[in-house]
């Protein structure tokens, strides 16, 4: 390693000292952390037919999340109403022994329509939740309750269409979005013969869901809302483009003065308005649920699970983490892109470097979309080896790790001893892992380009469409060069950064003007806000210089007082730059903790795999404790 690497990330084109030497905020020392929320708000018409979204708080008015949410070590557990107290205690004790700090609890409410819809059955599940929470809190653990959002499932014989015909999403060609022919090979959570129904956020189901939420919020520490989607494709049913139910059609007509279009036409203004409005409808549903929960329990946290991440999937499924994250945190399900561990395959066991870079890009995006709120990342391992590496990426890049073995998010681990050891280390290092990651480089992400350049044509996470390919190529270069970066979605926080990388983008006049005044690197094609007319936004700075000599298989992030590393390749030793004035650094992994001397501005780590922390230690007259 060359000695000058200690200078960190030098923005060579304009002589600014980069991320590793920038003035940074102090680590959190109190019991909670302020989380500024961006000021940009989705554009909503005052003629909205249902509750209008609140305006996000400005940076001077912070939303506070408790420290335990940033230090969460998550695992999922299912419980049944006929469980005895001993049955409940056994699962709670197991979670505690594995160093879990947040139990995601699922009950029949989460998988059986009858237990969710029927008042008597719902009451049994709510009473069960109370029993579980009481025992978990005795152990000092927190409880998040799993809720299904706009999907209900159940055994053959149930018929939500007959019970509540106005609840059901309706496809563009007029079919109700309710099926019983989806196999577990197509969707891992379903079986052939099981009924799967998708519900409209504009129907009377909205009030039903909000009332259920008000009942449950006082019982738990957090709610985890899954499947808040408009189901565009499931099993063999594709191109559904819901919802064309009466309530949604009426709401869209009131909002836009138009009828919902019956088929995709990506050059049509009617179609573009429909695609945009569908996301607003789902967002409004989630914001209303968040508000209802907070009214019932001001201390409860609400997370919206999202498995779109940075992909074009958000266009069809209509839940956009870039806008949801303005109002409540998303809980991203980050796919193991090498093999689908959620389908019981090998996860990231044999992942290529490009696939690891895609996984890391999704993690950075998800943490950034949450605007400094906690980011509870559900991902699926196959073995302790690949789970250690996925945990390394999530923890290094600022998320909180939900350990699970694919394909189930409940009652399974890649190895209970692995979970215990990983979470024991994460508990010991919770203060450092919960520090805010900081960077002086931003990667611009354009939701409009995702929607109207890529046009819902991508596969699961395939980099084949114009915007997604351009964006991922830029993210991959920053990861490869070890340049810490955030993803930004609007112009409100650009002043936090020294340089912004702009791939393909569709820009409003305000965004175009803000980027004109930035040091920037343009790597893609720029369009106006409609994604129709080409604009010229010239590049005027070079890509920031990274960390020379570090293996590409190591991902790097930075806080005020520590570096965070994730090694997804072979067992290697690396050289890490340390800011000036420090004479030693503490190196910590789940396997080792050691104090290393600083020599010419760097430390040389022992060989490691998975996650690692390098904490700066002060001079001899003011060393910090490493307890």
| Tens of pLDDT, residues 443-455 | 999 999 999 999 9
Under the banding of pLDDT at 50, 70 and 90, the label for residue 342 is low
Q: What is the mean pLDDT of residues 39-65?
A: 40
Across the range 146-164, mean pLDDT stands at 96
Inform me whether the pLDDT recorded for 609 exceeds 90. Answer: yes
Q: What is the pLDDT of residue 419?
A: 98
pLDDT beyond 80 at 39 = no
DSSP 15-67: TEE-GGGS--PPPP-SSEEEE---S------TT-SSPPPPPPPPTTSPEEEEH
**Four-residue CA torsion sign, 170, 171, 174, 178:** negative
- Residue 326 backbone phi and psi in degrees, to 5: -70, -25
Q: What's the confidence (pLDDT) of residue 184?
A: 80
Band of residue 591 on the pLDDT scale cut at 50, 70, 90: very high
Q: Is 542 domain-assigned?
A: no
- pLDDT, residue 344, reads 65
Number of structural domains (the chain) is: 3
- Please, are residues 105 and 142 in contact by the beta-carbon 8 Å criterion? no
**For residue 276, is it left (φ>0), alpha (ψ between -120 and 50) or beta?**
alpha
Best CA proximity match to 489, nearest among 446, 442, 441, 440: 446
CA 380 vs CA 70, 86, 406, 510, 624: distances in Å: 20, 29, 5, 40, 37
Last residue of a domain, one of 433, 448, 469: 433
Same domain for 516 and 582: no
Instruction: Answer whether residue 589 is part of any domain.
Output: yes
Interatomic CA distance for residues 573 and 614, integer angstroms: 13
Q: Write the burial class of residue 443 (CB in 10 Å: 0-12 exposed, 13-18 middle, 19+ buried).
A: buried
Quote the mean pLDDT of the chain: 88
* Confidence at 21, pLDDT banded by 50, 70, 90: very low
Whether residues 564 and 515 share a domain: the answer is no
Give yes or no for residue 397 having a pLDDT over 50. Answer: yes
Cα 69 to chain centroid distance, Å, stands at: 14
Mind listing the pLDDT tens digit for each residue in 207-252? 999 999 999 999 999 999 999 999 999 999 999 999 999 999 999 9
- The rounded distance, in Å, linking the Cα atoms of 369 and 374 is 11
Q: With respect to residue 449, please indicate whether it lies within any of the assigned structural domains.
A: yes
User: pLDDT digit string (tens) for 498-521?
Assistant: 999 999 999 999 999 999 999 999
Q: What is the token pair recorded at 159?
A: 């018929």
CATH code (residue 208) = 3.20.20.80
Q: Domain ends where: 386, 418, 433?
A: 433
Q: What is the per-residue pLDDT across 321-336, written as a single tens digit (0 to 9) for each?
A: 999 999 999 999 998 9
pLDDT band at 186 (very low <50, low <70, confident <90, very high): confident
Residues 401 and 483 reside in one and the same domain: no
C-alpha 453/C-alpha 447 separation (Å) is: 10
DSSP-derived 3-state class of residue 270 = helix
182 in any annotated domain = yes
Is 541 a domain residue?
no
Instruction: Judge if 261 and 282 occupy the same domain.
Output: yes
pLDDT, mean of residues 13-28: 30
Residue 422 belongs to domain spanning: 67-433
| % pLDDT > 90, the chain | 81
pLDDT band at residue 188 under the 50/70/90 scheme: confident
Q: pLDDT tier at 619 (50, 70, 90 boundaries)?
A: low
Q: State the pLDDT at residue 2.
A: 24
- Same domain for 232 and 379, yes or no, is yes
Check whether 13 has a pLDDT greater than 80. no
Q: What is the pLDDT of residue 458?
A: 78
pTM: 0.90
- 173, 274: one domain: yes
What kind and span of H or E run contains 147? strand 142-148
Confidence of residue 547 (pLDDT cuts 50, 70, 90): very high
| CA distances (Å), origin 574, targets 9, 474, 475, 477, 527 | 17, 24, 22, 20, 42
In a domain, 242, yes or no: yes
Residue 297: pLDDT above 80? yes
Decide which of 52 and 144 is more confident: 144
- Which has the closest alpha carbon to 18: 566, 517, 497, 444? 497
- Indicate whether 126 and 23 sit together in one domain: no
CA distances from 97 to 73, 91, 187, 423 (A): 12, 10, 32, 10
- What is the pLDDT at residue 271? 97
Rounded Cα–Cα distance for residues 473 and 63 (Å): 34
Mean pLDDT of 574-600: 95
Q: Point out the domain boundary residue: 433, 450, 476.
A: 433
What integer pLDDT is reported at residue 20 of this predicted model?
A: 30
- Considering the domain architecture, whether residues 145 and 34 belong to the same structural domain is answered as no
Nearest to 97 by CA among 384, 417, 402: 417
The band of 341, judged by pLDDT with boundaries at 50, 70 and 90, is low
Per cent of the chain over pLDDT 70 is: 88
Overall average pLDDT of the 351-358 stretch = 95
- With cut-offs at 50, 70 and 90, classify the pLDDT of residue 8: very low
Residue 560 has pLDDT above 50, yes or no: yes
Phi, psi (degrees; rounded to nearest 5) at 575: -105, 125
Q: Quickly state the pLDDT bin for 148 (edges 50, 70, 90).
A: very high
Whether 214 maps to a domain, the answer reads yes
List all residues 6 or more positions away from 483 whose beta carbon is below 8 Å from its beta carbon: 9, 18, 19, 439, 441, 543, 544, 545, 546
My answer on whether 19 and 99 are in the same domain is no
Are 407 and 265 part of one and the same domain?
A: yes
3-state SS, 71-137, equals: CCCEEEEECCCCCCHHHHHHHHHHHHHCCCCEEEEECHHHCCHHHHHCHHHHHHHHHHHHHHHHHHH
Q: Give the separation between CA 197 and CA 306, rounded to whole angstroms.
A: 19
Q: Is 544 a domain residue?
A: no
Same-domain status, 104 and 187: yes
Identify the band that residue 617 occupies on the pLDDT scale cut at 50, 70 and 90.
Answer: very high
Of residues 62 and 88, more confidently modeled: 88
Q: What is the pLDDT of residue 30?
A: 33
pLDDT digits (tens, 9 = 90+) for 570-584: 999 999 999 999 999
- Residue 6 pLDDT > 50: no
105 and 10 both lie in a single domain: no
């Amino acid at each position: 390693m060359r000695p000058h690497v200690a200078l960190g990330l030098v923005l060579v084109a304009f002589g600014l000292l980069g991320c590793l030497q920038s003035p940074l905020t102090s680590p959190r020392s109190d019991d909670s952390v302020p989380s500024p929320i961006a000021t940009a708000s989705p554009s909503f018409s005052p003629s909205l037919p249902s509750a209008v979204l609140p305006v996000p708080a400005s940076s001077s008015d912070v939303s506070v999340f408790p420290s335990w949410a940033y230090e969460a070590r998550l695992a999922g557990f299912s419980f049944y109403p006929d469980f005895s107290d001993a049955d409940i205690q056994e699962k709670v004790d197991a979670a505690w022994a594995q160093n879990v700090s947040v139990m995601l609890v699922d009950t029949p409410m989460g998988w059986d329509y009858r237990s969710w819809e029927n008042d008597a059955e719902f009451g049994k599940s709510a009473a069960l939740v109370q029993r579980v929470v009481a025992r978990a809190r005795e152990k000092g653990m927190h409880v998040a309750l799993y809720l299904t959002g706009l999907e209900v499932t159940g055994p053959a014989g149930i018929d939500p269409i007959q019970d509540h015909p106005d609840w059901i999403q309706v496809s563009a060609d007029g079919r109700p979005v309710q099926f019983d022919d989806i196999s577990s090979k197509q969707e891992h959570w379903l079986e052939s013969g099981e009924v799967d129904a998708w519900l409209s956020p504009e129907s009377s189901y909205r009030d039903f869901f909000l009332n259920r939420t008000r009942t449950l919020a006082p019982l738990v520490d957090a709610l985890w809302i899954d499947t808040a989607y408009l189901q565009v494709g499931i099993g063999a049913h594709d191109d559904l483009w819901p919802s064309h139910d009466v309530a949604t059609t009426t709401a869209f007509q009131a909002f836009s003065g138009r009828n919902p279009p019956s088929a995709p036409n990506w050059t049509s203004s009617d179609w573009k308005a429909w695609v945009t409005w569908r996301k607003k409808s789902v967002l409004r549903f989630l914001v209303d649920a968040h508000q209802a929960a907070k009214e019932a329990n001001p201390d409860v946290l609400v997370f919206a699970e999202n498995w779109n991440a940075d992909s074009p999937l958000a266009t069809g499924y209509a839940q956009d983490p870039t806008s949801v994250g303005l109002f409540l945190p998303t809980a991203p399900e980050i796919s193991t892109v090498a093999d689908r561990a959620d389908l019981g395959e090998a996860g990231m066991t044999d992942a290529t470097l490009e696939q690891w870079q895609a996984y890391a890009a999704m993690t950075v995006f998800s943490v950034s979309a949450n605007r400094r709120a906690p980011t509870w990342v559900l991902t699926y391992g196959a073995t302790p080896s690949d789970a250690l590496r996925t945990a390394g990426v999530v923890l290094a890049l600022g998320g909180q790790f939900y350990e699970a073995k694919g394909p189930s998010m409940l009652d399974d681990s890649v190895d209970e001893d692995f979970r215990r050891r990983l979470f024991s280390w994460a508990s010991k290092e919770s203060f450092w892992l919960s520090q805010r990651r900081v960077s002086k480089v931003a990667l611009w992400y354009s939701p409009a380009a995702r929607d109207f350049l890529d046009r819902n044509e991508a596969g699961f996470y395939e980099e084949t469409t114009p915007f997604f390919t351009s964006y991922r190529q830029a993210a991959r270069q920053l990861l490869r060069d070890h340049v810490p970066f955030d993803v930004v979605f609007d112009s409100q926080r650009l002043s936090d950064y020294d340089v912004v990388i702009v791939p393909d983008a569709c820009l409003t006049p305000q965004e175009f003007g803000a980027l004109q005044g930035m040091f920037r690197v343009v790597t893609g094609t720029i369009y106006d806000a409609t994604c129709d007319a080409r604009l010229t936004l010239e590049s005027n700075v070079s890509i920031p210089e990274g960390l020379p000599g570090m293996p590409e298989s190591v991902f790097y992030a930075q806080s005020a007082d520590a570096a965070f590393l994730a090694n997804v390749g072979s067992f290697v030793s690396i050289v890490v730059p340390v800011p000036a004035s420090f004479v030693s650094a503490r190196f910590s992994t789940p396997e080792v903790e050691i104090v290393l001397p600083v020599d010419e501005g760097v430390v040389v780590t022992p060989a490691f795999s998975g996650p690692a922390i390098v904490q700066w230690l002060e001079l001899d007259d003011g060393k910090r404790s490493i307890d």
